[in-house]
Amino acid sequence: MAMDTSTATPPSNSFEPWSSSYWTVVLLLALSITTGIIYILTQRYQPYLRSIPGPFLASFTDLWRFVKVNQLRFELTLQELHDRYGDLVRVGPNCISVGDPREIRQIYGISRLFQKSEYYRVAQPLINGKPVASLFMITNEDAHKAAKRPIAHAYAMTSLLDYEPFVDNTSTVLVERLTSLYADSDKVCDIGEWLQWYAFDVIGEMTMSRRFGFLEQGRDVGTIIKTLNKSGAYTAIVGQMPWLDYLLAKNRWWGHLFSRDKMGVSKFVLSFLQPRIDEAALRRRERKKDHDDDDDDDDDVTTSTDHRKDFTAKFIAASERYSGKIPPSQLLGWSLSNINAGSDTTAITLRAIFHFLLLHPACLSRLLDELHSAELGDAPTFRETSTLPYLGAVIKESLRLHTPVGLILERVVPQGGVTLCGRHFPAGTVVGCNPAVIHQDARVFGRRYGVREFRPERWLEPPSGGEELAEMERCFMAFGAGKRTCIGKNISLLEVHKLVPLLLMKFKFTLVDPEKSLTIWNTFFVHQKGLEVYVEKA
């Protein structure tokens, strides 16, 4: 028999040593896993932070905060965490939420320099490749002082009388629109929407002496409100992981795909601002020509003359006066400060006030009695209404119970570190308070009434000595706190003090469905939707 000399096939379960490429893959995989574990442990167990309670995932990645903010009710999430863990909650590897109102002064006060975190840089749009920041967005304190100094007087209480005619003009239009479209009819009025349009138009009047047209057209002109909301959502979410912004909106190759909304807001504001800038430039050229013709060395040709008393006139005068000391783009930054924050905070405040009053008839009745006793005119003045105690209490209580800001106002611990709630935190740690959480603190705001109750009386009936009221005032964060308190606070209060009495004296509002909850979402500002009413002439 012939012998079979063919090569035998090895059995399928025979062992062959792995090639070097397999070992390389295994080594890289093991190294990646080890590196990841080391990173997680390093973040999780940072000195000074490792013992601060909070969600486990948040202790080693900001992805937890990114996801939670994306759910659009972060103020509720954070309130639950403080209820569970106490005054200090770790919400990021290097971020601590502080819930003790007694620490507000230390974090936001003027004695030490706690600068704003990188979150605020995300809000800055790029114009011609360079960031343009409103006052709110500037992180460097020296830059903020330089940008604020030229125009601080425009927001002072002494300047409020300049803006009352603008508020009255827009208020008259709102009253006319509500009367013609809804009064004494069965038509449902989304008063919250009209209050949003009012807030935009009135800030347009005060800033540029012209309304944007929201009230006249009864719609979101140029979808700018929608654009502003989308821009705010981007900042709120991406701001939890600020480095993402450099991969998205501030990326040189595809950044335009993510920055359209911020650019849209800037272009909208610039479309109204640019004609005024051009007017000012023309006046300067004419003054210079007259100066050259007259050869009058005493004539000041460096400053244009605009006798309007709106913000833009003051902004342009300031930019000329400080020419060379501030960048030209700051003129747009000042205007953005008004439009971005001024419209949303005022609209949110107005919606909260009317919603709470309509849900609490006894409070509404007491306020109406006060307004009638004051014998206000057809156009209530700020001088008249700012001294009405119950109106002031209603405004404060509405701002407390529905605080316009619902994210942490982040600050960076300065050199030398800081002790908060008895715990030391090193320099570079991000700390901050969420105003919506602070306003629910029973130790300050719940001594006489429940913190979740709408009780304007808590601002009027302090115990002997008034220490309770003084502490509530110190811990009131509706407009921020300390040296970076919202510069437009007085402007917003001017609008609210004038419009609320006017509408309540002109109309009777009734909720379409008192059991229906408002739709609320938080993208730094805590917005509401669905405030539907019937309108009758008073």
Alpha carbon distance 173, 379 (integer Å): 12
Q: Is 486 annotated as a binding residue?
A: yes
> What b-and-e string marks burial along 438-448, b requiring 16 or more CB atoms within 10 Å of the CB?
bbbbeebbeee
Closest CA to 437 of 67, 85, 66, 61: 85
Question: Helix 311-321 to helix 260-294 angle, to the nearest 10 degrees?
Answer: 60
What ranges make up the beta strands (E) of 422-531?
A: 423-425, 430-433, 507-511, 519-523, 525-529
Alpha carbon distance 184, 174 (integer Å): 16
Alpha carbon distance 144, 505 (integer Å): 41
Residues 6 or more apart in contact with residue 365 via CB below 8 angstroms: none
Closest CA to 361 of 459, 504, 196, 495: 504
Which ranges of 360-413 does DSSP label H, i.e. alpha helix?
361-373, 382-385, 389-401
Structure tokens at 333: 């930054």
Residue entry with tokens 């290097």: 94
| Cross-strand pairs, 433 | 409
| Cross-strand pairs, 98 | 88
Question: Helix 330-337 to helix 311-321 angle, to the nearest 10 degrees?
Answer: 150
| Cross-strand pairs, 116 | 411
SS3 assignment for 425-470? ECCCCEEEECHHHHCCCHHHHCCCCCCCCCCHHHHCCCCCCCHHHH
**Which of helix, strand or coil describes residue 493?**
helix
Closest CA to 47 of 94, 98, 7, 103: 94
What ranges make up the beta strands (E) of 140-259?
A: 189-190
Alpha carbon distance 98, 411 (integer Å): 11
Q: How far is CA 456 from the centre of its chain?
A: 24
Structure tokens at 324: 């060379």
Alpha carbon distance 330, 310 (integer Å): 17
Structure tokens at 113: 């320099």
- The count of other CB atoms within 10 Å of the CB of residue 148 is 17
**Backbone phi, psi, residue 89, to 5°:** -135, 130
Alpha carbon distance 103, 126 (integer Å): 35
User: Contact, 241 vs 95, CB < 8 A?
Assistant: no
SS3 assignment for 237-286? HHCCCCCHHHHCCCCCCCHHHCCHHHHHHHHHHHHHHHHHHHHHHHHHHH
- The count of other CB atoms within 10 Å of the CB of residue 532 is 16
Q: Which residues are annotated as a binding site for heme?
A: 486
Q: Which residues are annotated as a binding site?
A: 486
